[in-house]
Structure formats: structure tokens, C-alpha cells
Amino acid sequence: MNVLINGVPHDLPADATVRRAVQELTSAVAGVAVAVNDEVVRRGAWDSTPLSEHDRVEVLTAVQGG
């Protein structure tokens, strides 16, 4: 299954969840938030939210700015 994680194509197992996508980038959980196709997926739902082909996953964190 192909999904876009922060704009980069990733090939994930067919049963991959949001948590699997996050783990492609980081093992950290604190200070991280995820949106799939422009909808926030709460941290508590990462394991129970499956991904679908061509999903756009955004994994964000706080950086210096403003």
C-alpha cells in the first residue's frame, strides 16, 4: 500500500495503521500530532485507525517560529 507521509511516498503493509506511519519517521510520541487527509487523528486512535491506499499522512511537531 502506498501512502504519502509528509509528502514522501512510503510503501506500507496493507494492514498498516496511523501508528505505523508515525513510526516511519520517529519513535517519539510526545509533541507529535497527525492528520490523515486533513483530519486530525487523536493519539489514542493511532492504533485503531487503518490507512488506505493513497492516504495523505501529515506528522507535525513544534519548531522554532513566530
Provide the binding-site residues for another protein, judged by CB under 8 A. Answer: 6-7, 25-26, 31-35, 38, 40, 42-43, 58-66
Q: How far is the CB of 43 from another protein (least distance, A)?
A: 7
Under a CB-based contact definition with an 8 Å cutoff, are residues 21 and 12 in contact? Answer: yes
Cβ-proximal residues to 12 (8 Å cutoff; 6+ apart), any chain: 1, 2, 3, 20, 21, 24, 51
Q: How far is the CB of 37 from another protein (least distance, A)?
A: 11
From 25, 8, 17, 36, select the one nearest 61 (Cα to Cα): 25
Q: How far is the CB of 30 from another protein (least distance, A)?
A: 8
CB of 14 or CB of 30, closer to another protein: 30
